[in-house]
Amino acid sequence: MSTHVAELDAHVHALRERGFTIVPASHSPATVASLRAALTGLYQRCGAPTPYSAKGEQLGADVQLAPTGFVVTRLLALFPELASELLSPVVVEVVRRLLGRDMHLELTGAVLCDAARPFFSWHNHIGGIDVEDYRARDTWPRFGESERVIAVLYLDDIDASGGELRAYPRRITDPTEAPHDEMSPDWPGHEKLHFAAGSTVILEQCTWHAAMPRLTPGLRMFVGVYMTSARAPKTEASDDSLSGFSGGGPLLQSLLRG
């Protein structure tokens, strides 16, 4: 077995047995700089508001302030020129080995925040874009295999001062409801995830994770995508910017549903 194949298999094994994996240096420094520049420009055009709102505020069709931060939805509708830089071939191959060769891209977006955002409590992404409906119904389905992942490309170094990411390990067949208080930062057995800018964190949709407050000045940015198995139920909402999208090159095009 080649080193490359062994690394891919290790990522897939981690997703099945622990619910998350980190692909270091999935994107080049040049791509990180390009994405940061585009998002910074949008943020400034929106008036550079404090990138946090406990109640939420719509700033535009695809931009809002929320508890998550300055949230960009339908990323490719705003920045179609970024499509060719969005996806990493390694990340896509890992997800295909987990979800199947016929998995597809379901959603794209980005988030900016700073030290104004407090502890971002434990949460997961069951149902992807429909997750709030699951939470509202207090519905916690069980799964025998993975149906969806979120792949998050971080544009900053993430460490104890940079807005540390925390994850709670779980197997795909484990219960999906929160095992501890969602507002408590220190779950027994959680892992602290530290990594360099340009790394992608892949989280299985059921994996509980949280983020600590940023302790240093400046914006913390990430770009995220949902990738979903052909077996998964269709979401009630959808990212219509992906329908008929013609850019991004062969890799992105191979992930779009007809």
> Torsion angle, CA of 46/50/54/56, rounded to 10 degrees?
0
pLDDT for res 119: 98
pLDDT for 258:
65
CATH of domain 3-254: 2.60.120.620
Q: What is the pLDDT of residue 76?
A: 95
| pLDDT (average), residues 3-29 | 96
Average pLDDT estimate for 243-249 = 92
Region 107-131: mean pLDDT is: 93
Residue 254 pLDDT more than 80? yes
Which tokens belong to 31?
Answer: 């791509």
Query: What digits encode the pLDDT tens for the residues 43-86?
Result: 999 999 999 999 999 999 999 999 999 999 999 999 999 999 99
Q: Write down the domain spans for the chain.
A: 3-254
183-237: pLDDT as tens digits:
999 999 999 999 999 999 999 999 999 999 999 999 999 999 999 999 998 887 7
Q: What is the pLDDT of residue 195?
A: 98
At 137 the pLDDT is: 77
- CA dist., res. 112 & res. 222, Å (int): 7
Q: Model-level pTM?
A: 0.96
Average pLDDT, the chain: 94
- Residue 59's contacts (CB-CB under 8 Å, 6 or more residues apart) are 46, 49, 65
Q: What is the predicted pLDDT for the residue at 205?
A: 96
Q: Where are the alpha helices (DSSP H) in the chain?
A: 3-17, 29-45, 75-78, 83-86, 89-99, 131-137, 249-253
Q: Give the pLDDT score at 132.
A: 74
pLDDT (tens digit per residue) in 138-189: 778 999 999 999 999 999 999 999 999 999 999 999 999 999 999 999 999 9
Q: How far apart are CA 167 and CA 190, in angstroms?
A: 6
Query: What pLDDT, on a 0 to 100 scale, did the predictor assign at position 1?
Result: 55
